[in-house]
């Protein structure tokens, strides 16, 4: 149960980015790689089934609330030590990112960006989250925009 709580805290923090409007290269139309870092603060969690959990978080940079997320994770069995997760990261006024990730018992989650909306439309890249406590973590999102 302790491992599942650690995974829940980790996955809760999976979803988060630092917010800035994505940029494109003005001279070449080439995709520009961007990195956003945010602190994740759990605002709610539930276990809809014995093999799954859902959580919501605030995404924070400095003292500023820059967005929210919602994550759902599922385990393959009662003894599984990793969870498969999907989620949405919403950034205040700029758009959302859709993600999938694998959360491990070590407090680390790694995954990818599936797509986005608004300023994040056509986004692709990676997400990396590390839990620093049961309700706090740090998320790094590395992405570019490509049609």
Q: pTM score > 0.95 for this model? A: no
| 3 state DSSP class of 107 | coil
Q: How far is CA 25 from CA 94, 101, 116, 117, in A?
A: 19, 28, 19, 19
Q: Give the pLDDT band of residue 6 (cuts 50, 70, 90).
A: very low
How many angstroms separate the CA atoms of 39 and 18, rounded?
8
Q: What is the pLDDT of residue 31?
A: 73
DSSP H helices, 1-147, are: 2-12
Q: What is the pLDDT of residue 29?
A: 64
Write the pLDDT tens digit of every residue in 71-116. 999 999 999 999 999 999 999 999 999 999 999 989 999 999 999 9
Q: How far is CA 59 from CA 32, 43, 48, 88, in A?
A: 23, 10, 23, 12
Domain ranges of the chain: 2-145
From the options 3.40.50.620, 2.40.480.10, 3.40.50.2300, 2.40.128.50, give the CATH code of 2-145: 2.40.480.10
């Amino acid at each position: 149960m302790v491992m599942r709580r650690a995974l829940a805290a980790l996955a809760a923090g999976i979803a988060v980015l630092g917010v800035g409007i994505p940029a494109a290269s003005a001279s070449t139309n080439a995709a520009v790689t961007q990195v956003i870092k945010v602190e994740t603060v759990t605002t709610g969690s539930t276990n809809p089934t014995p093999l799954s959990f859902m959580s919501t978080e605030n995404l924070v940079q400095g003292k500023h609330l820059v967005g929210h997320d919602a994550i759902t994770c599922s385990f393959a069995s009662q003894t599984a030590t990793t969870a498969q997760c999907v989620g949405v990261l919403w950034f205040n006024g700029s758009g959302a990112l859709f993600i999938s990730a694998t959360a491990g018992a070590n407090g680390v989650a790694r995954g990818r960006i599936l797509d986005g909306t608004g300023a994040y439309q056509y986004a692709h890249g990676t997400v990396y989250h590390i839990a620093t406590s049961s309700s706090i973590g740090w998320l790094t999102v590395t992405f570019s925009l490509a049609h």
